[in-house]
Chain A
Amino acid sequence: MTQKIAIDPVTRVEGHGRVTVHLDDNGKVDDAFFHIVEFRGFERFIQGHPYWQAPVLVQRLCGICPVSHHLAAAKAIDQIVGVDPEDLSPTATRLRQLLHYGQIFQSHALHFFYLASPDLLFGVDAPKEKRNVVAVAMEHKELAKKGILMRKFGQEIIKAITGKKVHGIAAVPGGIQKTFNKAEQKYFLEENDTPSAKTMIEWSKEIISFIRSYHEKHYLWLDSFASYPSGHLGLVTDDGAFELYNGRMRAIDSKGNITLNDVHNDEYLKYFVEGVEKWSYMKFPYLKSLGRHEGWNRVGPLARLNVSDSMPTPLAAEEFETFKAYTNGNTNNNTMHSHWARLIEMLYCAERIQELLHDPDILGDDLHREGVQRPEGIGIIEAPRGTLIHHYRVDEKGMITKCNLIVSTTHNNEAMNQAVKWVAREVLDEQKEISEGMLNQVEVAIRAYDPCLSCATHAMGKMPLQLSIYDHLGNLVNERSRN
């Protein structure tokens, strides 16, 4: 008799999802799915609004990465007002980059310290009362204090540029609305209530040392858990280096062969298409040339390091080389190495923030450029969780007639489903009792992608995740819910 297991809700991810495991009549796992059951329809209701509202409206998709949506939309709207990235003023470009790195820094800090660290520090079988950041704070005080201040640093950068830590406004069509001042510059370069950029670099290095030593002790688990071959997608510079703000799209397959060769933003529709499944509101993007089953890619920190030939900042570059050497330069398909990759990105962001804080352009007053209006704009950016695509079309009055958003977590949809299937087959298969630790392993696999399900479905409301087991007749035989 086939049985089905459902995890509903899945915890410590952003959003509301549900996992179901289908068992055959021998109790073996037949299949497993990660369902996203939120729906919002953001792409539809933004239609009819004037183009200049898009960067403000779309950031309401999310309370964790609003800056990424704000900037991706802004890049698209720049094109609608006839301003290409290279035509933005240096001040606008630098401040948008500073904002972007602040956002990724704080989001990665949130994920590592608040969401992932309980699994790493206490183990996946720890009692659920322990698997949270408060337990981390109580038993690892110094680590927790650093995590809090690292997130605060990124949030304060955001606040300085946008006026608010969440849902502020910085970018305007063709530029940015305010410049930085010397007091703000000094604040982030010196020790205050918020540590300096220099301290952030030091602490980022310390955290990478922690994860490397953790890897030495737990490599058997980290090198195998929820690992599987896949494609990887991310932005790179013209010379193939790691890039987060403005680059070309590159994809590779699980062996490192290039499957998307440094494509310009404007061309994404030529190469990508989104599939749908009846059991999820979240779409499944893939490369047309490879098809639905071969053309999907992971995105995010692990993918970005995989597709890049080099890292532009010196300290992150050293860590990048160590990371690459771990797999002898081959593509890294180890899902749990995402945490290591994420921390290397934090170091990169800290280095870039320090560099930008010393750049006199951030104090400039040339904020805004104008061009000749166009009917369409595409903005692609590397958000904390991966490649984020915003695409708008407007009519002659400047009203939005079409909006297409492919967010990072959507790119990772198939990857998360593969991770869930891996855990179902390796951990849950033929188990008479499903323990709390087993359930948590399903979540750990999903959590490695740091998914933001509210962004992916453009959803709202309460965001718990949930696991159910069904037999082959569709009868629910076991269910766990957490809130």
Chain B
Amino acid sequence: MNEAGIKAVEKILVAGKIQNDTRTLVLGIGNNGRSDDGLGWAFLDELEASGIFNGKMEYRYQLGIEDAELISHFDQVVIVDAYADSLERGAAWQPCKPEDNFSFTTHEVPPGVILHLCHDLYGKTPQVDCLLIAGKDWGLKIGLSEDACQNLDRAFGLFKERLVYQLNE
């Protein structure tokens, strides 16, 4: 296959897969000063260190209204966040649907509302999926708990399962 052919194949969106190019955004939510709340950021650190992802990454303490504008520039968005309850496999995918019913605080806007605003204001509806990672400790500490570290590895595995690898890799 020639170079043009490879590029053409790379651009085909595969259902249920994460496109591995600049049209994809991964948002890591959290606060690494609160132990396992830093899972979203730790995921981005690991993703960057792995060198397998060619899309864009952004760190966030929480989602804000302006993220509706940010995600409007992408076809696919993965939001990675710590989960305060247990998950069967320690990590799980959760699809995101637009939501127009919520109570606003300056500190937190749910992903579904961001998606709703993105469509309403910018006429774009990227595919948004949340990758939840179960945490255990939420105290004032830098560093993940042992359980969270294991769950981070599981989440990374789930992400890699969906990631479309470049044909020339």
- Rounded to whole angstroms, the CA-CA distance of A67 and B3 in the bound complex is 47
- Rounded to whole angstroms, the CA-CA distance of A156 and B154 in the bound complex is 34
Could you mark each residue 67-103 of chain B with 1 if its beta carbon is under 8 Å from any beta carbon of chain A, else 0? 0110001000000000000000000000000001011
Asked if B120 and A12 make an inter-chain contact with CB atoms under 8 angstroms apart, the answer reads no
- Rounded to whole angstroms, the CA-CA distance of A173 and B4 in the bound complex is 52
From 427 to 483 in chain A, residues with beta carbon under 8 angstroms from any chain B beta carbon are: 462-464, 482-483
Asked if B120 and A138 make an inter-chain contact with CB atoms under 8 angstroms apart, the answer reads yes
Is residue A396 contacting chain B, with contact meaning CB distance below 8 A?
no
Across-interface contacts of A60 in B (CB, < 8 A): 33
Asked if A149 and B69 make an inter-chain contact with CB atoms under 8 angstroms apart, the answer reads yes
Is residue B106 contacting chain A, with contact meaning CB distance below 8 A?
yes
User: Could you say which of B59, B65, B73, B106 contacts A137, with CB atoms under 8 Å apart?
Assistant: B65
Is residue B105 contacting chain A, with contact meaning CB distance below 8 A?
yes
Report A135 CB to chain B, min CB distance, Å: 9
Asked if B103 and A148 make an inter-chain contact with CB atoms under 8 angstroms apart, the answer reads no
Report B64 CB to chain A, min CB distance, Å: 8
Asked if B121 and A145 make an inter-chain contact with CB atoms under 8 angstroms apart, the answer reads yes
- Rounded to whole angstroms, the CA-CA distance of A64 and B107 in the bound complex is 10
Asked if B103 and A152 make an inter-chain contact with CB atoms under 8 angstroms apart, the answer reads no
Asked if A193 and B104 make an inter-chain contact with CB atoms under 8 angstroms apart, the answer reads no
Report A46 CB to chain B, min CB distance, Å: 15
- Rounded to whole angstroms, the CA-CA distance of A12 and B107 in the bound complex is 10
Is residue B113 contacting chain A, with contact meaning CB distance below 8 A?
yes
- Rounded to whole angstroms, the CA-CA distance of A389 and B102 in the bound complex is 37
- Rounded to whole angstroms, the CA-CA distance of A464 and B107 in the bound complex is 10
Is residue A44 contacting chain B, with contact meaning CB distance below 8 A?
no
Is residue A114 contacting chain B, with contact meaning CB distance below 8 A?
yes
Interface residues on A, range: 20 to 34
CB within 8 Å for A164 and B59 given contacts A60-B33, A141-B120, A148-B65: yes
Chain B contact residue count (CB 8 A cutoff) = 21
Is residue B117 contacting chain A, with contact meaning CB distance below 8 A?
yes
Asked if A132 and B104 make an inter-chain contact with CB atoms under 8 angstroms apart, the answer reads yes
Across-interface contacts of B102 in A (CB, < 8 A): 134
In the complex, residue of chain B having the shortest beta-carbon distance to the beta carbon of A106:
B66
Could you mark each residue 105-120 of chain B with 1 if its beta carbon is under 8 Å from any beta carbon of chain A, else 0? 1110000010011001
Report A425 CB to chain B, min CB distance, Å: 29
Could you mark each residue 144-158 of chain A with 1 if its beta carbon is under 8 Å from any beta carbon of chain B, else 0? 110011011001000
User: Could you say which of A134, A152, A166 contacts B113, with CB atoms under 8 Å apart?
Assistant: A134
Report B107 CB to chain A, min CB distance, Å: 6
From 103 to 153 in chain A, residues with beta carbon under 8 angstroms from any chain B beta carbon are: 110, 114-115, 132-134, 137-138, 141, 144-145, 148-149, 151-152
Asked if B113 and A114 make an inter-chain contact with CB atoms under 8 angstroms apart, the answer reads no
CB within 8 Å for A166 and B107 given contacts A141-B121, A148-B68: no
Q: Would you list the 6 A-B pairs with minimal beta carbon distance, nearest first?
A: A132-B104, A148-B66, A148-B69, A152-B66, A137-B117, A145-B121
- Rounded to whole angstroms, the CA-CA distance of A464 and B48 in the bound complex is 35
CB within 8 Å for A11 and B105 given contacts A60-B33, A155-B66: yes
- Rounded to whole angstroms, the CA-CA distance of A277 and B100 in the bound complex is 43
Is residue A14 contacting chain B, with contact meaning CB distance below 8 A?
yes
Asked if B105 and A483 make an inter-chain contact with CB atoms under 8 angstroms apart, the answer reads yes
Across-interface contacts of B165 in A (CB, < 8 A): none
Report A151 CB to chain B, min CB distance, Å: 6
Asked if A14 and B106 make an inter-chain contact with CB atoms under 8 angstroms apart, the answer reads yes
Is residue A63 contacting chain B, with contact meaning CB distance below 8 A?
yes
